[in-house]
Amino acid sequence: MANRVCIGMAGLGTVGGGVFEVLKRNGLLIEQRSGHQVQLKTVVCRDIEKAKRLVGNAVEITNDWEKVATDPEIDIVIEVMGGIEPAKSFILTALKEGKDVITANKALLATHGNEIFKVAKEKKRTIAFEAAVAGGIPVIKALREGLAGNRIERIAGIINGTTNFILTMMQSQGLSFKEALAQAQALGYAESDPTFDIEGIDAGHKIAILSALAFGTLLHFDETHITGITQVDLKDIEYAKSLGYSIKLLGLTAKSSEGIDCRVHPTLVSCKSPLANIDDVMNAVLIKGDAVNTLFLSGPGAGAGPTASAVVADLVDILRLEGRNCVTSDFNSADTQVEWLDLKDIQSRYYVRIPKALMSRNCVEEQLSKEGIAIEQSKSFEADFVLLTEKTTQALILKIVNDMVSGKNCRKDIAVLHVMD
């Protein structure tokens, strides 16, 4: 007979409701695969009446998170309430009470993960977080297990569905940024306050987590360079397309002999790359390892079903491991020698758009040549010309651009974007 394991869950919104439905629908399957009978004992929810309508009388409902975190009958807690507090206090209390933790909270992990993982390690408990990055795509498991024998070289990913939908609508429908954002909000893909998504912060949290896992460091969200999509112009979408590129908001991290870089910004991606064909709210991640070469993972990055799938997968993993600490050791507390690279010093190819009324193409090409920057491709349009450079640093490309417009109030008329290798 299977052992019974009691679960407590904080949060019963979109993700929490999805977890409840998966546990209810697939309970027998989960028992067969884990060897344990799972009982959802208590749920923490602010709206108790709404929760009762969803879960009925089979589950105890409370608005006191501390009651769940300290309940001696509960073995594992699931945190899907989001935000920093009280989620952080709930997780830390549960760990100190000897409970394993599953969370989908990328913002909390990216900004306070080092403290949380330290406590988990001290208490010899597991904290699992597959659902924190890319929803239903098992990218955490791929890095921790499937690619454990690889030295990871770099990761590039579309890891925010809202911004990917907006950029897709701009490219496929010819919408402006504001029009595409309004459509995303109307469809429920963007919040009424979309700042975290469109400014790249959400993607920044996720790439910081992937970077720490890939390269065995502590979490360094403060070293992540972030630029959102609010300044992406429709004309750049169209020009890039004519050159054989799509513009995507990418999370990028890489390790070289010089150090680690971790960044989020709009990027020109060749239409030959599988990332260029990831549209709407879908997510995708490219991982380059020294043994496997390149691995491509894609799928739904958010929503009740995909995120609940990841949460329940973590639950089954913990049950199979029967309490053995399996996640906390992936973050290295001895990373003081790691050098984090400044964005201005990172080598990249660049897309530069300059209005014809501002400067001649020959003049720009001459300025770039003087600084030793080779031009890979160029094209003239009605009002602008566009150059794709070979690799250089952002510091140098911006210096040249700023020198060219010195004394002229027109810097905003020039676009400079990264081009993915």
Give the three-class secondary structure for 58.
Answer: coil
Distance from C-alpha of 94 to C-alpha of 81, rounded to nearest angstrom:
15
Q: Is 206 a catalytic residue?
A: yes
Nearest to 227 by CA among 253, 249, 205: 249
Give whole-number Cα distances, 393 to 156, 250, 373, 390, 397, in Å: 19, 18, 10, 10, 6
Sign of CA dihedral 55, 191, 222, 255: positive
Give the three-class secondary structure for 51.
Answer: helix
Residues paired with 43 in a beta bridge: 9, 61
Phi-psi region of 11 (alpha: psi -120 to 50; beta: other; left: phi over 0): left
CB 268 within 8 A of CB 276: no
Centroid of chain to Cα 411: 30
Phi-psi region of 107 (alpha: psi -120 to 50; beta: other; left: phi over 0): alpha
Q: Which of 88, 206, 248, 255 is catalytic?
A: 206
Distance from C-alpha of 35 to C-alpha of 259, rounded to nearest angstrom:
44
The position carrying tokens 């300044």 is 231
Residues labelled catalytic: 206
